[in-house]
């Protein structure tokens, strides 16, 4: 009744091709952005900001990265954690070598290192696909993990073997390190995530995104339409790894504060993969849904039952989380392979015709 596009006529192709062609969607996005920018930081407590909002945004970006590769270009990757690690370690090295350059520049640059790594491990995708490719991304995962442990230069020969984030300032405000408050960190993360999400959306709705989807849906036909598989696949690997790298750098600099190599293990790869699957492969909004769901579920499971008087051990909560997520993955693949994003879409369609059952 209220959510419908009746009467909104498009008179130009440009108007028809905008991201949110429906007025109500534009209003909705504006409201969400307003809440994220002007409400959340002033309402939420420190725990919510540090332990939920910040990692959620960062992981959503990593999920977008994986989704570009797996959801849009159709190349399965199990090496997300490794590529995130490349970004994190690159950023750490940059920040310690050039401490005077603004940290945001380092964060955005570190993605380029991850992109380069992604291109190298994406090269085999020209000859192999599907399951075989999953193995080469596993090779990347384990190889990078090994590098983070065995190459002391990467962690500046710290005795602990971990990277520790130095305290850096941006425009006079401390944004990294133990002294940084959660609100400045949140704003930096939010700005980067919004910026990159918009840029990715632009890529996806243009020529390059279409080429990725062509390769995903029918690679032979794509080639016969003039798509060069080399460029299409490697650009997907590069963009995907770039996003993962930036997410990895932010993960350490704005969330963890210090990281051991195990922070970027294959567990992280799977976590991000699950976010992409549950959220919906081939959907940007789904990345945010998936990241929120998978990140918040364990927190709820740990905190929820005690609140209603059921004691639950931290371990048990972890086990139950793992079971629930595993079962949900299977259930979603069976019932709704396009994930939460598709449920969202169905909900919107229902809303369009509400209060009638169908149009």
Partner 1 sequence: MNRAVDPRDLAMDGDGLAKGEVLLEVKNVSLRFGGVKAITDISFDIRKGEIRAIIGPNGAGKTSMLNVINGFYTPQEGTITFRGEERKKIAPYQAAASGIARTFQNVALFKGMTTLDNIMAGRTLAMHRNFLWQLLYFGPALNEEIANRRKVEEIIDFLEIQHIRKVPVGRLPYGLQKRVELGRALAAQPSLLLLDEPMAGMNLEEKEDMSRFILDVNSQFGTTIALIEHDMGVVMDISDRVVVLDYGRKIGDGTPDEVKANQDVIDAYLGVSHQDEGEG
Partner 2 sequence: MLYQIFVDPFAQMVSMPDFLIQVIWEGFVAGILYALIALGFVLIFKASGVFNFAQGIMVVFAGLTLVGLHEAGVPAFLALILAIGVMALLAIAVERFVMRPLVNQPEIILLMSTIGMTYFLIGFGEFVFGGEPKQMITEELGLPTGSSAFEIGEQGLVILQHIDIAAAVIAIIMVASLALFFNKTRIGRALRAVADDHQAAQSVGISLNQIWAIVWFAAGIVALATGIMWGARSDVSFALEIVALKALPVLILGGFTSIPGAIVGGLIIGIGEKIGEIYWGPLVGGGIESWLAYMIALVFLLFRPQGLFGERIIERV
Write out the residues near partner 2 by the rule CB under 8 A: 74, 76, 124, 127-128, 130-132, 134-136, 138-139, 142-143, 145-146, 149-151, 220-221, 266, 270, 273-274, 277, 315-316, 318-330, 333-334, 337
Position 214 contacts partner 1 (CB under 8 A) = yes
Tell me if the bond preceding 355 is cis, omega within 30° of 0: yes
Position 211 contacts partner 1 (CB under 8 A) = yes
Rank residues 169 and 345 by Cβ distance to partner 1 and give the closer one: 345
What is the rounded CA–CA span in Å between residue 129 and residue 34? 42
Kindly tell me the burial class for residue 90, based on how many C-beta atoms sit within 10 Å of its own C-beta (0-12, 13-18, 19 or more).
buried
Q: How far is the CB of 16 from partner 1 (least distance, A)?
A: 8
Position 207 contacts partner 1 (CB under 8 A) = yes
CA distances from 162 to 91, 109, 252, 261 (A): 14, 21, 11, 7
Q: Which does 202 bind (CB under 5 to 8 A by kind): partner 2, partner 1, none?
A: partner 1
Rank residues 71 and 248 by Cβ distance to partner 2 and give the closer one: 71
Given a contact cutoff of 8 angstroms between Cβ atoms, the answer to whether 205 and 70 are in contact is no
What is the rounded CA–CA span in Å between residue 348 and residue 344? 6
What is the rounded CA–CA span in Å between residue 176 and residue 254? 6
Q: How far is the CB of 211 from partner 2 (least distance, A)?
A: 19
Q: How many residues bind partner 1 (CB under 8 A)?
A: 30
Q: Which residues contact 327 (CB under 8 A, 6 or more apart)?
A: none
Polymer length of the chain: 359
Q: How far is the CB of 127 from partner 1 (least distance, A)?
A: 14
Q: Which residues contact 112 (CB under 8 A, 6 or more apart)?
A: 242, 245
Given a contact cutoff of 8 angstroms between Cβ atoms, the answer to whether 260 and 275 are in contact is no
What is the rounded CA–CA span in Å between residue 344 and residue 336? 11
Q: How far is the CB of 102 from partner 1 (least distance, A)?
A: 21
Rank residues 164 and 219 by Cβ distance to partner 1 and give the closer one: 219
Q: How far is the CB of 339 from partner 1 (least distance, A)?
A: 14
Kindly tell me the burial class for residue 76, based on how many C-beta atoms sit within 10 Å of its own C-beta (0-12, 13-18, 19 or more).
middle
Q: Which does 13 bind (CB under 5 to 8 A by kind): partner 2, partner 1, none?
A: partner 1
Q: Which does 315 bind (CB under 5 to 8 A by kind): partner 2, partner 1, none?
A: partner 2
Stretch near partner 1 under the rule CB under 8 A, chosen from 56-64, 214-222, 241-249, 265-273: 214-222
Position 221 contacts partner 1 (CB under 8 A) = yes
Rank residues 9 and 42 by Cβ distance to partner 1 and give the closer one: 9
Interface residue with partner 1, options 116, 138, 208, 296 (CB under 8 A): 208
Q: Which residues contact 82 (CB under 8 A, 6 or more apart)?
A: 117, 140, 141, 142, 143, 144, 145, 264, 269
Position 5 contacts partner 1 (CB under 8 A) = no
Given a contact cutoff of 8 angstroms between Cβ atoms, the answer to whether 253 and 176 are in contact is yes
Interface residue with partner 1, options 203, 296, 297, 329 (CB under 8 A): 203
Q: How far is the CB of 133 from partner 2 (least distance, A)?
A: 9
Given a contact cutoff of 8 angstroms between Cβ atoms, the answer to whether 271 and 179 are in contact is no
**Where along the sequence are the contacts to partner 1 (CB under 8 A)?**
12-14, 17, 199, 202-203, 205-208, 210-211, 213-214, 216-218, 220-229, 235, 282
């Amino acid at each position: 009744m209220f959510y419908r596009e009746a009467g909104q006529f498009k008179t130009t192709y440009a108007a028809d091709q905008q991201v949110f062609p429906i007025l109500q969607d534009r209003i909705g996005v504006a409201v969400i952005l307003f809440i994220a920018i002007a409400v959340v930081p002033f309402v939420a407590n420190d725990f919510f900001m540090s332990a939920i909002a910040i990692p959620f945004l960062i992981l959503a970006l990593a999920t977008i990265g994986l989704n570009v590769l797996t959801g849009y270009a159709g190349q399965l990757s199990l090496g997300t954690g490794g590529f995130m690690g490349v970004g994190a370690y690159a950023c750490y090295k940059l920040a310690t070598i050039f401490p005077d350059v603004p940290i945001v520049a380092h964060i955005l640059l570190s993605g380029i290192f991850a992109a380069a790594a992604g291109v190298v491990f994406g090269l085999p995708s020209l000859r192999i696909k599907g399951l075989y490719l999953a193995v080469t991304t596993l090779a990347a995962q384990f190889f990078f993990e090994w590098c983070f442990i065995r190459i002391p230069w990467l962690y500046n020969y710290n005795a602990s073997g971990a990277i520790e984030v130095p305290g850096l300032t941006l425009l006079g405000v401390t944004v990294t390190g133990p002294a940084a408050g959660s609100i400045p960190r949140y704003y930096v993360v939010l700005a980067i995530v919004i910026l990159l999400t918009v840029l990715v959306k632009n890529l996806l709705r243009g020529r390059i995104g279409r080429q990725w989807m062509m390769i995903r849906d029918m690679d032979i036909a794509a080639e016969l339409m003039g798509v060069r598989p080399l460029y299409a696949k490697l650009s997907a690997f590069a963009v995907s790894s770039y996003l993962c790298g930036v997410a990895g750098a932010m993960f350490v600099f704005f969330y963890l504060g210090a990281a051991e190599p195990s922070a970027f293990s294959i567990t992280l790869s799977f976590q991000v993969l699950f976010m992409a699957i549950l959220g919906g492969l081939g959907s940007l909004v789904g990345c945010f849904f998936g990241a929120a769901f998978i990140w918040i579920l364990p927190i709820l499971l740990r905190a929820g039952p005690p609140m209603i008087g059921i004691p639950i051990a931290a371990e048990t909560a972890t086990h139950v989380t793992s079971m629930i997520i595993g079962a949900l993955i299977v259930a979603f693949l069976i019932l709704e392979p396009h994930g939460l994003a598709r449920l969202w879409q169905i909900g919107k369609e229902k809303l369009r015709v509400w209060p009638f059952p169908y149009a």
